[in-house]
Chains A and B, each alone.
Chain A
């Protein structure tokens, strides 16, 4: 059972355009929703994260939009640059303690920004 569904699998955007990646989840216990960015040959690194008490979070050119009732969240990259070309993963984590600190990841989106 895939708990976090991510789309599209790949995305090509022109420089200056808007990149949009979507994720949907099923587990209502999820309470923390990060996005990770991975460049070739590197491990993933946290880009931006949101908790469901807010509907939007913005950090520079990166924005997460969150829709709790639809159980969906998305990453928007404004003014996309060639340096943003990377693989992006959405993830989700439940709020309870104990052994529930694991992150469940989507399958990833390969973003290519053409100059």
Chain B
């Protein structure tokens, strides 16, 4: 059973459009991370959210952690072709260094 469900699974949009990716679970997390992965490479950490309701911005990317710390969203403003990639949310199992990844959202931004 995948503990973290992401939606949508796939998204193809035109350059300049906005989009939101969701990461949902029935479990409560102490923190949650977002990664971007490009083909043939390892994931790269974008952000860690810790506090319920927290909002973090990274240039055109806005990350939000749900008030109940069960869900998170990633909003991209004015998407660019360079944003193309696989977006993954992940959480760390309490008391371990193990990270469990969400199902992933594959984004393609067309020029």
Specify whether A and B are partners: no
